[in-house]
């Protein structure tokens, strides 16, 4: 919620090959003794005006996955800014609720009382899972009265109200909620003293600390190996099959062990066995983790959105193939869709990208020669993306599918990809 962010230096070059540099700014939240109570994290890899559910997922994922997680946040609370869309995203299943405070903004101007009231159900669900919620001073407005009981923290923006309003705001918040108050954007000794005299115990702002920029270098496996893992999970593969794949790729296994042993996951003992890690996560969480790993990977500077588009293609092709092909062929259709953007993801020609992956010949034919059983499915999928009506009509007719069937499958594929992300 805080926008107190120092000017970001120019983004350094991405590390070579599979490395990804995530730029995360953190600002300390301190108590009245100036001891660190927690940290608010900001994503500096994403533009400030591009704060989305996907960037929320990526920020949390990168913060908890990189090798220096302990150095980044230690054992302190992590305050993460959320969009209302990201609150329902699967990435929150991957963190220990005790470690994370979710900062939730007010709704956009024009929101109705019904819109505001409708959010309470989700807040209650998050509370039941153990998450604590933070709101800004807008939660003290009459319109947001139904949110107030859900507030564990209320952040009072010193730039948002005149000094003479500080006392009534603090009194109202203290009288009508159990929330801890945080004075944020504190830039002067006078502001600090004003709020301290009113009984506020937590502070954030330039007066205490400017946001420090932390470059968290993460090693990302190739998208190809991540997709192999996703496919194994989708097929409900045995833990031994998954373990075998983890053993084949050191960056994949490295990322998994590093993630599951991060402070955000909340385990009391260190996990060193792949088998143990898979058992603890379970297939559902392992799937979430792999999908986020894919969509937050950026090889050769490609945008994370490419990974998401690839997943949509794969799912759409699989759904379309379900009408006409065997289950095994549907799995191959998924692979064709996902791998069709491998050149963009890796920054190398598609034929070179495919040399490192063992694939059935029909998959190769579709990807490299636009021929074979999967070619019309891929062409139709691309037509859905581009809006090419002629290609859409031609391939729909070729596959004996109706326009309605294709459109419904496309919507389903988009919804499925959204459920993975947003990371």
Residue 105 belongs to domain with CATH number: 3.20.20.450
- Asked if residue 140 and residue 185 are part of one domain, the reply reads yes
Considering the domain architecture, whether residues 182 and 238 belong to the same structural domain is answered as no
The per-residue pLDDT for 235 is: 79
| Cα–chain center distance at 271 | 24
Whole-number pLDDT of residue 338: 78
The domain of 48 spans 19-216
Residues 297 and 414 in one domain: yes
**Is residue 82 included in any domain, yes or no?**
yes
Q: Do 236 and 197 share a structural domain?
A: no
User: Are 246 and 165 within one domain?
Assistant: no
Domain boundary among 181, 216, 251: 216
Look at residue 55 and tell me if it is in a domain: yes
Same domain, 91 and 207: yes
Instruction: Name beta bridge partners: 105.
Output: none
Contacts of 42 (CB under 8 A, 6+ apart): 5, 24, 25, 26, 27, 59, 81, 211
* CB half-sphere exposure, 70, CA atoms < 13 A: 4
Same domain, residue pair 186 and 229: no
Instruction: Answer whether residue 9 is part of any domain.
Output: no
pTM: 0.52
* Separation CA 244–CA 415 (nearest Å): 31
Q: For Cα atoms 27, 31, 36, give the angle at the middle one, nearest 5 degrees.
A: 45
Total tally of structural domains belonging to the chain: 2
On whether both 250 and 395 belong to a single domain, the answer is yes
A 10 A CB-CB count for 276 gives 15
Of 216, 245, 267, the residue at which a domain comes to its end is: 216
In a domain, 134, yes or no: yes
Nearest to 357 by CA among 322, 329, 332: 332
Asked whether residue 355 falls in the same domain as residue 374, the answer is yes
Residues 121 and 180 in one domain: yes
Tell me: do 134 and 253 sit in the same domain.
Answer: no
Distance in angstroms (rounded) separating the CA atoms of residues 334 and 330: 6
**What tens-digit pLDDT sequence spans the chain (423 residues)?**
443 333 333 323 333 333 444 566 778 888 888 888 888 887 655 554 555 666 666 676 666 554 444 445 556 788 988 888 778 666 677 777 887 899 999 998 888 999 999 999 999 999 998 999 999 999 999 999 999 999 999 999 999 999 999 999 999 999 999 999 999 999 888 999 999 999 999 999 887 766 655 555 454 666 777 888 888 887 788 888 888 787 666 667 667 777 777 655 666 666 756 777 788 888 878 887 887 777 665 443 444 456 667 778 888 998 999 879 888 788 788 878 878 887 776 667 888 877 755 578 898 999 999 999 999 999 999 988 777 888 989 999 999 998 888 888 888 888 777 665 433
Look at residues 216, 245, 262 and tell me which one is the last residue of a structural domain. Answer: 216
My answer on whether 66 and 169 are in the same domain is yes
Residue 4 in any domain: the answer is no
Could you tell me if residue 11 is inside a domain? no
283: which 2 tokens? Answer: 């297939």
Residue 247 inside a domain? The answer is: yes
Residue 80 falls within a domain, yes or no? yes
């Amino acid at each position: 919620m805080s926008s107190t962010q120092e000017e970001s230096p120019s983004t350094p070059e991405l590390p070579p090959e599979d490395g990804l540099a995530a730029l995360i700014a953190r600002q300390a939240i301190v108590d009245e003794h100036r001891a660190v109570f927690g940290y608010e994290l900001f994503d500096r890899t994403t533009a400030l005006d591009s704060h989305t559910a996907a960037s929320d997922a990526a920020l949390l994922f990168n913060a908890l996955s990189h090798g220096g997680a302990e150095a980044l946040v230690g054992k302190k609370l992590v305050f993460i800014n959320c969009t209302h869309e990201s609150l329902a995203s699967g990435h929150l299943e991957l963190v220990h609720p005790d470690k994370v405070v979710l900062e939730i903004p007010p709704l956009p101007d024009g929101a109705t009382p019904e819109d505001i009231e409708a959010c309470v159900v989700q807040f209650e669900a998050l509370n039941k899972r153990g998450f604590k919620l933070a709101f800004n001073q807008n939660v003290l407005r009459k319109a947001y009265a139904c949110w107030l009981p859900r507030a564990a923290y209320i952040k009072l923006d010193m730039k948002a109200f005149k000094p003479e309003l500080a006392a009534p705001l603090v009194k109202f918040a203290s009288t009508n909620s159990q929330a801890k108050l945080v004075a944020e954007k504190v830039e002067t000794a006078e502001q600090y003293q004003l709020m301290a005299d009113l009984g506020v115990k937590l502070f954030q702002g330039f007066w205490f600390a400017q946001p420090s920029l932390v470059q968290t270098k993460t090693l990302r496996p190739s998208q190809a190996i991540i997709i192999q893992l996703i496919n194994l999970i989708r097929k409900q593969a045995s833990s031994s099959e998954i373990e075998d794949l983890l053993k084949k790729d050191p960056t994949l296994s490295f990322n998994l062990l590093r993630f599951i042993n991060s402070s955000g996951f909340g385990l009391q003992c260190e996990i060193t066995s792949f088998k143990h890690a898979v058992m603890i996560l379970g297939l559902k969480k392992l799937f979430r983790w792999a999908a986020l790993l894919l969509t937050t990977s950026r090889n050769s500077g490609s945008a994370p959105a490419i990974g998401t588009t690839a997943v949509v293609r794969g799912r759409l092709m699989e759904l379309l193939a379900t009408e006409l092909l065997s289950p095994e062929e549907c799995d191959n259709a998924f692979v064709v869709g996902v791998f069709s953007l491998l050149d963009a993801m890796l920054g190398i020609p598609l034929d070179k990208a495919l040399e490192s992956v063992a694939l059935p010949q029909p998959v190769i034919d579709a990807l490299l020669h636009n021929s074979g059983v999967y070619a019309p499915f891929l062409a139709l999928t691309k037509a859905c993306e581009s809006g090419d009506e002629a290609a859409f009509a031609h391939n729909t007719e070729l596959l004996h599918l109706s326009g309605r069937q294709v459109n419904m499958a496309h919507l389903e594929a988009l919804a499925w990809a959204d459920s993975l992300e947003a990371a």
